[in-house]
Chains A and B, each alone.
Chain A
Amino acid sequence: MILTPRQKRICERVLNAFETGSADGDYGNISIYDDGPGRIKQITYGRSQTTEYGHLSELVSMYVAARGRFSKQLKPYVNKIGKKALVNDAQFKQLLKQAAKDTVMRRTQDRFFDKAYFQPAMNWATEHGFVEALSALVIYDSFIHSGGILGFLRRTFPEAPPVEGGKERKWIEQYVDARHNWLANHSNRILRNTVYRTKCFKTEIARKNWDLSQLPIIANGVKVS
């Protein structure tokens, strides 16, 4: 699947709005959740929501190698991340926040985000025969939100993906409906709030914005253009 730079930027900005409430994304955000190994608390950082026991070491390592403004101070942490708990290390968290103001860190996070989510999503789309930009947005959203296209959702609707002879637009429409129903009726009531994502896609499908040329797109109240 090939997107124009403009289409790709729209996809990223819509997803940033869903995830952070800002189309520009939040590069310096630090959250602490107890979702580390054995449910211990861990740092979640940046636009890419990279976790301490996940890929944070890789991200910081990429930044150190790119010689950013805070690379020298962050270098000693590269080998500690994921091995020694840093959730209470105020200096480390402060450095991450400061580094987020550095354009080198922002570019590093963008590259990392591409590698971790965008490329796998586009590979999946290509393997399944999708070509339209709105399809890319829907698929990319599932990779960021759910880590991929959930198998149990695919089994709830009949349309085959294009690679198996199905119609692309019909598959996307049915998939968005299935995802919407799952989120809207989830036993976890808080999770139901996330239907703004599928509502946005339904709006774009309804106005046939398959090439993402009709702007702005309203992503959870944020105008994306």
Chain B
Amino acid sequence: MNNAPNTLDVAEEAAALAEHQPVIVRRTRVERAWRELRKAPLTAWFGIIVIVLYVLTAFFAPLIAPYSETELVGGPFDPWSDVNLLGTDQLGRDMFSRLIYAARNTMGIAVLTTALSFTVGGLLGLLAAVLRGWVDQIVSRIVDVMMSIPQLIFCLVLLSFLGTSVLNLVLIIGILDSTRVFRLTRAVATNVAVLDFVEASKLQGEGLLWVMTREILPNILPPLVAEFGLRFCFVFLTVSALSFLGLGIQPPSADWGSMVKDNATLISFGDPTPLLPAGAIALLTVAVNFVVDWFLHKSSGLKE
């Protein structure tokens, strides 16, 4: 903290210079966002385009896919052809169609789960950081207990206990993941919560919600966004792992994780088809992290 005046000198010098420059026109939020986007590097653009394509695919799956998700259209493991673009799977369903429908299931679950874990974990983390005292103690200890049980096993136990539905899957993974988000949020928010501007807003009589969401949250966004990129990808892994163990997304619904597992036999015959769903996961992961990196770079003021 003591070093602040020193490191800020460059910015101050620039600000001192800026005073001599002509009037700057006011910009709206949209204009500012557009300006930022235009300056975005190629990787970020690549990430954005890929994500948009994935989302469109998920939305318009029934329009794009030639067959339905569950329809049997040929024999098992048919090769690539004009009829079945990417061949068929172990039961004779169209691989290409399932790949497209899986975008819905896999991404839908991943987005919902991550959103849930960040809402729950983020809110509790902020609350603990602002209120401290017994609220912090109670929530932190509960989280400690939950984190002391290995996550996958905990998931298995809860899923077999509560039954395997998509809703349960989202709730369980979301809440278990939120413990990690809570720890991160609490740690970074505690650092911000002691700064003068937070005290100043308390002295103005601002309520708890305002202090949490307007004063602290924007300042801890960069680490949270980075964590979001990671968590989003981990959820794929967890769902795939659970599907592999038979407790994930239930057949006949398609998801990329179980598609890899179901068709893995083909790999030993030199057929790359089972790698396509894996590739779909990989591409999305890379795209999400490109966007996250760009945001991080921009908001943390990191420059080469």
A binds B: no
Q: Which B residues lie at the A interface, using CB under 8 A?
A: none
Q: Which A residues lie at the B interface, using CB under 8 A?
A: none
